[in-house]
Amino acid sequence: MADALRIEPLTGDALRRHLADLADLRIAVFRAFPYLYEGSRAYEERYLATYADAPGSVIVGARDGDRLVGAATGLPLRHEPDTVTRPLADAGLDVGRVFYYGESVLLPDYRGRGVGVRFFTEREAHARRLGGFDHAVFCAVDRPDDHPRRPAGHVPLDGFWRNRGFRPLPGVTCRFSWRDLDEDGESEKLMRFWIKDLA
């Protein structure tokens, strides 16, 4: 049960101590469709530096004993790069009043027990403790229906996200670069934004 796991927000030094474990989780979990991420330590160090440095950032860690088995991240949107903030500002959002959710990653053996739900409630609670946020947003990769690596019967997380109170922001997109399993180098992926009202 999720109750047997320790699920708690980590900030400051506790957050920094868990970044290497978070990198391992991201590399392991994001190999699967739709991410197909051929992870590298160098990429992780660049990417996760934002969380180490940004005031207001959080990792919600799920720990089984000493082992980090899942994690979800968040930070005030204003700390994200222009490529992420610009489309949201163009859509009329006040970047300074938006809290941004990064990834949720959970090892397969621990799924279906409510941990993913906790990742959303704990990040929202963190954003509310910080105060000053009208919305939470995240973005998710968009893969074509006929992508050769799409597993038969793949169920997208749309329903799960809707049940967390999020809705798609139609036409609001950005691009993230990473190296797919089948690629020699990084390429840009189309990401679509989802939003939830917090006010």
Chain residues binding ligand COA by CB under 6 A are 29, 103-106, 111-117, 119, 157, 159-160, 163
* Torsion-angle region of 104 (φ positive above 0: left; ψ -120 to 50: alpha; else: beta): beta
Minimum Å distance from CB 40 to ligand COA? 18
Minimum Å distance from CB 159 to ligand COA? 6
Q: In the complex with ligand COA, which residue's Cβ is closer, 13 or 177?
A: 177
Minimum Å distance from CB 193 to ligand COA? 13
- Residue at shortest CB range from ligand COA: 116
Minimum Å distance from CB 190 to ligand COA? 16
Q: Packing angle between helix 41-53 and helix 19-29, nearest 10 degrees?
A: 130
Give the whole-angstrom CA distance, residue 59 versus residue 19: 9
Stretch (H or E) spanning 125:
helix 115-130
Give the whole-angstrom CA distance, residue 25 versus residue 18: 11
Q: In the complex with ligand COA, which residue's Cβ is closer, 39 or 116?
A: 116
Q: In the complex with ligand COA, which residue's Cβ is closer, 96 or 140?
A: 140
Q: In the complex with ligand COA, which residue's Cβ is closer, 84 or 105?
A: 105
Minimum Å distance from CB 199 to ligand COA? 22
How far from each other are the two terminal CA atoms of the chain, in whole angstroms?
A: 32
Q: In the complex with ligand COA, which residue's Cβ is closer, 15 or 139?
A: 139
CB 22 within 8 A of CB 73: yes
Nearest CA among 116, 104, 108 for reference residue 2 = 116
